[in-house]
Every structure is written in C-alpha cells, then in structure tokens.
Structure 1
Amino acid sequence: MSDAMGTKEQPWKLLTPPRSSDYEMYKDEKDGKAILVCTVGKTVLHYDYRCIEDLHAMLKRHGDWMELGSADEQKPAKEGTVEAWGRSIDNPLGGWYGLKKGFRGRFGMYVPPLLEHLGLAEVEHNARNNRMRAI
C-alpha cells in the first residue's frame, strides 16, 4: 500500500478484499460535506466521509469478525454484513453512506480496505466471502 495522504493529488491506492482489482480513494468536499471519492476504473463513487469513524465504532461494538457482503445498490444486501449496515436506517447516518444515486452500493467492497490501510481494521483476502474486524 502507498503512503499517500488521501488527497486528490495523493490518493490512497487500494486493492479490493480479494486483491483482484485496484482503485483509489481520497477525501474531498461536495456541497459543504466531507466525502470519500472512490475511483474504480472509469467509475466514480462517493461515500459520506463519516463512514470511516462510524464503521470502525460499529465494528468495535460488534467485537468479532463481520462478513463484508458487498452488493450493488440495486441488489439487496445480506443481513448482518458490513454492506447491510452501510445502508441501514439504524446506522448513525440513518441510511446510505453511498451518495451517488445508482452507485450507492459496494460499500462492503471499497470501504473496508481503506480502514485496513489506515490501521483501523483487519480484512480477509480470500476469493469470496471476506470478513473484517476492528483493531
């Protein structure tokens, strides 16, 4: 992983949990709100920046491994997964951390490696069914 600072000029260079695809993330601001910009090939996703702290806190409370359960916005998320939490009305945001309509999913694919990179979580790197837990 790179030592980049998470800026547009020096984004975090990350790999998906199965380590099959690379992508970049950085902190930016949109409409006065801090966001994470996630660029995967030509696709750009946005997540509320609070997701880093909120996900870490939830995993700390959970206290054990949690399945990632990544899914596109149009598909239902498996209950009890990081993906389901990232969409739940019961999370601190009260809904989706993903901000771009049509591209709000894949929270469980792209956010966990950032927490791992930042030293906040461990993430498994199997071909499928990966999990994470707070450090």
Structure 2
Amino acid sequence: MKDKIGNKTSPTPLKTPPLSSDYTMHVDEKDGREVLVCTVGKTILHYDIRCLSDLHQMLKQHGDWMDLGGADEQKPAKAGTVEAWGRSENNPIGGWYGLKKGLRGRFGVYIPPLMEKLGLAEVTHEAKGNKMRAL
C-alpha cells in the first residue's frame, strides 16, 4: 500500500474533502520509522503510517458512515468523529496519530482523502459535514 503513496520527489496529490484545498502526501522515514508526510502549502505535518490500516479496521467495525470532524490540535474534537478517534487514548496506539507537536490535529481532514485514493474508504465531498466509510 505504501508504494502507492509516493515519495518526497513524487508525492501523491490530494484535495481536502470539500475539494477546496490542494495538498500532497508521501512516505518518508523519521526517527527510524516510516511516517506519512502531509504538505499543505509551506506547512508540513507528520502522521504515523499505521493510521491507514488502523482507521480502515475501525471503520469496518463501525460499519456505517462516520463524521470526519477535522479540528486543529488546540481545539477539541467532536465526539464520535474520525478526528476524535485519531487522538483518542482508545485507538490502537493509545493517542495521537499526528506526530508534530502543535500540528497533530486535522487527522479528519488529511487522512480520509488518502484512504479514498488508496481504495480503502469512500468520502463525501460536501462544503461542510463530510463523512467516510470503509470499502
């Protein structure tokens, strides 16, 4: 799966769920482990690559559409959303999938479109209130 995400010289181009902003994702190594690197303009975020399989598994168990609920790290995530799960003590890694302090949020904005591109999930593309479900 990771070979479909691209690398630093050839990242995967993506759009946020409302299709309003462009960004890229690629796989790289940081501190001896593989990470997802999300580049939004000049901002660079890192996510634990395990989030792809972990989120896919959780969505399969959930069995229905789930609100994305994207939020910055400094803002609370709405309960029952992909964003809340991505920072929950109850997820498989016991906390944040985002790895850069201060930029650990927005999991529900940047990870779902990558999962859709990889054929792991379906994502809605409304102006607000987007959802996803496992394929």
TM-score (structure 2 length as normaliser): 0.96
Distance, in Å, in 2 between the alignment partners of 1:35 and 1:64 is 28
Residue aligning to 2:8: 8
Shift of 1:10: 1.2
Instruction: Report the identity percentage.
Output: 71
Shift of 1:33: 1.1
Residue aligning to 1:91: 91
Residue aligning to 1:25: 25
Q: Secondary structure at the match of 1:11?
A: strand
Shift of 1:5: 4.5
Contact 2:5/2:25, CA 8 A, preserved across alignment: no
Matched length: 132
**Which string of whole-angstrom CA distances, capped at 9 and with x for unpartnered residues, describes residues 104-123 of structure 1?**
00000000000000000000
Structure 1 gaps of 5+ residues are none
**Which string of whole-angstrom CA distances, capped at 9 and with x for unpartnered residues, describes residues 9-43 of structure 1?**
11110000000000000011101111000000000
Structure 2 gaps of 5+ residues are none
Residue aligning to 2:130: 130
Contact 2:5/2:27, CA 8 A, preserved across alignment: no
Q: Secondary structure at the match of 2:69?
A: coil
Residue aligning to 2:111: 111
Q: What code does the residue aligned with 1:130 have?
A: N
**Moved segments of 4+, more than 3 Å:** none
TM-score (structure 1 length as normaliser): 0.96
Q: What code does the residue aligned with 2:55 have?
A: L
Distance, in Å, in 1 between the alignment partners of 2:13 and 2:44 is 14
Sort the Cα spacing of 1:115 and 1:5 in 2 relative to 1 into closer, same or farther, 3 A. closer
Q: What code does the residue aligned with 2:13 have?
A: K
Distance, in Å, in 2 between the alignment partners of 1:68 and 1:134 is 13
Q: CA RMSD in A?
A: 0.8
Residue aligning to 2:66: 66
Q: What code does the residue aligned with 1:99 have?
A: L
Residue aligning to 1:57: 57
